[in-house]
């Protein structure tokens, strides 16, 4: 989603400021969240203006990067389900003993020397 408060369009580019160089960088959509980076839709990315005296650097966006396919999203959902699946006590190594519990967390002590 676009970082502009009144915009609900999909983001296509990421905006970052380099204050020490008085530079605004508009580049490909970031793959992870970063403080002081703003995702913009096509409309706002094209109409970006910088403060007077600042330089704007527009990096080419890679149009060849494919969007996640249904298979990718299904694989991710299955991995999350598997990680969240409750484990049976029988699956614990034979060398560990449960010594405490707080909610869903268990404290185990290894009996190996």
Please name every residue paired with 15 in a beta bridge, in sequence order, or none if there are none: 26, 38
Indicate the pLDDT class of residue 60, thresholds 50, 70 and 90: confident
- State residue 88's pLDDT score: 62
| CA distances, 23 to each of 5, 16, 62, 102 (Å) | 23, 9, 21, 50
Is residue 93 pLDDT above 70, yes or no?
A: no
Q: Which domain holds residue 21?
A: 13-58
100 occurs within a structural domain = no
What is d(CA 17, CA 45) in angstroms, rounded to the nearest whole number? 14
CB contact at 8 A, 107 and 97: no
6 occurs within a structural domain = no
What is d(CA 3, CA 64) in angstroms, rounded to the nearest whole number? 24
Is residue 75 pLDDT above 60, yes or no?
A: yes
73 occurs within a structural domain = no
Is residue 83 pLDDT above 80, yes or no?
A: no
Residues with Cβ within 8 Å of 64's Cβ and at least 6 positions away in sequence, in order, are none
Q: Which residue has the tokens 């970006």?
A: 48
What is d(CA 40, CA 23) in angstroms, rounded to the nearest whole number? 17
The count of domains in the chain is 1
112 occurs within a structural domain = no
CB contact at 8 A, 8 and 39: no
- State residue 51's pLDDT score: 86
User: What predicted TM-score, i.e. pTM, was given to this entire model?
Assistant: 0.51
52 occurs within a structural domain = yes
| Mean pLDDT value across residues 73-94 | 72
- State residue 95's pLDDT score: 65
* pLDDT tens digits, one per residue of 10-27: 888 899 888 888 888 888
Percent of the chain with pLDDT over 90: 4
């Amino acid at each position: 989603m676009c970082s502009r408060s009144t915009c609900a369009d999909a983001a296509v580019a990421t905006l970052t400021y380099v204050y020490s160089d008085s530079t605004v960088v508009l580049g490909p959509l970031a793959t992870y969240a970063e403080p002081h980076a703003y995702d913009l839709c096509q409309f706002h990315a094209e109409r970006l203006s910088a403060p007077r005296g600042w330089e704007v650097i527009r990096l080419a966006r890679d149009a060849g990067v494919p969007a996640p396919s249904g298979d990718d999203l299904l694989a991710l959902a299955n991995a999350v389900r598997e990680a969240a699946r409750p484990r049976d006590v029988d699956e614990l190594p034979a060398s560990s003993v449960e010594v405490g519990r707080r909610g869903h967390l268990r404290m185990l002590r290894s009996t190996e020397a």
